[in-house]
Amino acid sequence: MKYQIPKGTFDILPYGADEPWKLSALWQYVEQIVRQTAIDYGYREIRTPMYERSELFDRGVGETSDIVMKEMFTFEDKGGRLISLRPEGTSSVMRAFVENNLAQLGPVHKFFYIAPMFRYERPQSGRYRQHHQFGVEALGVAGPAQDAEVIDLLCETYRRLGLQNLTVELNSVGDLESRQSFRDALQAFLRPYFNELSEDSQSRFEKNPLRILDSKDPKDRDILKQAPSILHSLSEKALEHFNELKRLLDSCRIPYRVNDRIVRGLDYYNKTVFEVTANVLGAQNALGGGGRYDGLIATFGGPDLPGVGFGTGIERILQTMIAQSVPLPKEPAPLVYWLPLGDEARRTCFTLATECRHRKIFAEIDLQAKKIQTGLQNATRLNAQICVIVGSEELAKGTAQIKHLESRRQEEIPLDQLIDYFVAINQKQAERI
Ligand code: HAM
């Protein structure tokens, strides 16, 4: 029997990946940068289980959302409980926040996570059944400065990663009052066209008409051209929040474009919503998105604290970096490649290689070397700087042949001086960085 990876998933490999964004060194690099950026903005890491009781997402993401209706990996556990692999991070973070009574520990809480998410979607380029998100959630501040901080953090993360030509699209879906009045206006506008709408949009007409706004169906989009704008239905408070957010973004020189068609696919949003798109991503062009979700914590039985956050897909970040030819970090390479020939030499080199490693020198050893030529090829393939060759002749003399692989320079050094020699090189190179 031949085993195959499940549809819509992929392996992240150290080498040999069929596409460069699946190389683990790149994932480590991106994870390191997003983590540091979040820390620099005062966010702390939170880790929650990969699965939750399904009702959490029904409540949080919303029963009428596509995610809950069509895309959750849901199963019954042996105890008869309905469990879902998490499709997104916000609901889980809110659950953890409430369950652990973190609200008692201060007025403001800022979390980040880097974690896999699961959505049973039709796989295509940029869309997977297991994807990974870097996300943040800022709880406790109702004012628009918190929204601006979150948006700036997202943009700064992309900037530090070297991404270019991104567009921040900004909208407000208002508070409950604004949405109620917009819902009526939108339904009134769409009613005469009902029979011309796509099947999906028809089914959303009663339950969730706002979602019709981001329909991808060309006929729907044509009809929607004349649709009213949610920005005209904003309550005075929601409008003031939106205007102040725009002022703050302007003053920080964060470019954005107001797009009143952005409604997002999760039901918990109110007031601010935003999406960042990359022109190189094709149909799945959303690099990241988020918004405000005041009231969500209270829905989960916690205190009535406001919140705002974002999630950004790591796959799409890497694909954008590669499409934009962003300079990528070089993989770390061994300083020393030990190449012992024969059992006795292997014993000696193994001890010395171990000593190197204990001194924090990146050292590799060829434990089954037979021929110098193959050993040298392996060392070159790994981009090692120096190859140490020890055969019976060298052992008899108590020395090693040192080959500098780039310059091809060769020298003979006594075995008992080797460690000091490598420690000195390692130190010099560390100082240069
Ligand atoms: P979302 O827009 O559903 O938001 O997902 C965030 C990002 O995850 C997307 O912009 C995209 O880059 C990536 N993504 C989503 N689905 C897939 C997929 N199937 N394959 C590859 N990448 C994908 C949320 O999940 C919210 N929890 C964000 C948030 C946090 N809002 C407030 N706080």
| Comparison of pLDDT for 255 and 215, the residue scoring more | 255
End residue of a domain, out of 302, 323, 344: 323
Percentage of the chain exceeding pLDDT 70: 100
What is residue 273's predicted lDDT score, i.e. its pLDDT? 97
Query: Averaged over 274-297, what is the pLDDT?
Result: 92
Confidence tier at 150 by pLDDT (50, 70, 90) = very high
Do 79 and 156 lie in one domain? The reply is yes
Do 250 and 396 lie in one domain? The reply is no
Structural contact between residues 349 and 375, judged by C-beta atoms closer than 8 angstroms: no
In a domain, 209, yes or no: no
Confidence tier at 161 by pLDDT (50, 70, 90) = very high
Q: The CATH number of the domain where 32 resides is what? A: 3.30.930.10
Q: Which domain holds residue 127?
A: 20-175+235-323
Query: Averaged over 223-238, what is the pLDDT?
Result: 94
Q: The CATH number of the domain where 353 resides is what? A: 3.40.50.800
Do 265 and 381 lie in one domain? The reply is no
337-354 pLDDT, tens digit each: 999 999 999 999 999 999
In a domain, 300, yes or no: yes
What is the rounded CA–CA span in Å between residue 39 and residue 110?
Answer: 10
What is residue 331's predicted lDDT score, i.e. its pLDDT? 87
Distances in Å between the Cα of 115 and the Cα atoms of 188, 301, 313 are 41, 25, 10
| Comparison of pLDDT for 31 and 267, the residue scoring more | 31
Distance (Å) from CA 288 to ligand 1 centroid: 6
Pocket test for ligand 1, best of 65, 68, 88 (most atoms within 8 A of CB): 88
- DSSP-derived 3-state class of residue 346: helix
Query: Averaged over 218-226, what is the pLDDT?
Result: 93
What is residue 279's predicted lDDT score, i.e. its pLDDT? 86
What is the rounded CA–CA span in Å between residue 430 and residue 1?
Answer: 49
What is residue 173's predicted lDDT score, i.e. its pLDDT? 95
Do 340 and 309 lie in one domain? The reply is no
Distance (Å) from CA 320 to ligand 1 centroid: 15
351-393 pLDDT, tens digit each: 999 999 999 999 999 999 889 999 999 999 999 999 999 999 9
In a domain, 367, yes or no: yes
In a domain, 351, yes or no: yes
In a domain, 7, yes or no: no
Confidence tier at 283 by pLDDT (50, 70, 90) = confident
- DSSP-derived 3-state class of residue 110: strand
Query: Averaged over 292-314, what is the pLDDT?
Result: 97
Do 341 and 319 lie in one domain? The reply is no
Which residue's CA is the closest to the ligand 1 atom numbered 7?
312
Distance (Å) from CA 191 to ligand 1 centroid: 31
Do 282 and 308 lie in one domain? The reply is yes
> Could you tell me the sign of the dihedral formed by the alpha carbons of 398, 404, 405, 410, in that order?
negative
What is the rounded CA–CA span in Å between residue 328 and residue 216?
Answer: 34
End residue of a domain, out of 323, 353, 381: 323
What is residue 226's predicted lDDT score, i.e. its pLDDT? 92
Query: Strand order of the sheet with strand 399-404?
Result: 363-365, 336-340, 386-390, 399-404, 410-414
Do 274 and 156 lie in one domain? The reply is yes
Query: Averaged over 41-52, what is the pLDDT?
Result: 98
Confidence tier at 66 by pLDDT (50, 70, 90) = confident
| Binding pocket residue ranges, ligand 1, CB within 6 Å | 88-90, 119, 121, 127-128, 131, 133, 135, 137, 265-266, 286-291, 309-313, 315-316
Amino acid at 403: K
Do 243 and 369 lie in one domain? The reply is no
What is residue 358's predicted lDDT score, i.e. its pLDDT? 97
In a domain, 328, yes or no: no
Residue 406 phi/psi, 5-degree rounding, is -80, -50
Which residue's CA is the closest to the ligand 1 atom numbered 14?
313
Do 38 and 135 lie in one domain? The reply is yes
What is residue 117's predicted lDDT score, i.e. its pLDDT? 98
Report the domain count for the chain.
2
In a domain, 132, yes or no: yes
What is residue 369's predicted lDDT score, i.e. its pLDDT? 84
Do 250 and 167 lie in one domain? The reply is yes
Confidence tier at 295 by pLDDT (50, 70, 90) = very high
Do 258 and 388 lie in one domain? The reply is no
Compute the half-sphere exposure of residue 226: CA atoms within 13 Å on the CB side of its CA.
9
> Could you tell me the sign of the dihedral formed by the alpha carbons of 155, 159, 160, 163, in that order?
positive
Please give the number of the atom of ligand 1 that sits closest to the Cα of 119.
Answer: 19
87-122 pLDDT, tens digit each: 999 999 999 999 999 999 999 999 999 999 999 999
Do 312 and 275 lie in one domain? The reply is yes
In a domain, 413, yes or no: yes
Tell me what the pLDDT averaged over the chain comes to.
Answer: 95
Q: Which of 274-288, 369-383, 387-401 has the lowest mean pLDDT?
A: 274-288
Please give the number of the atom of ligand 1 that sits closest to the Cα of 132.
Answer: 22
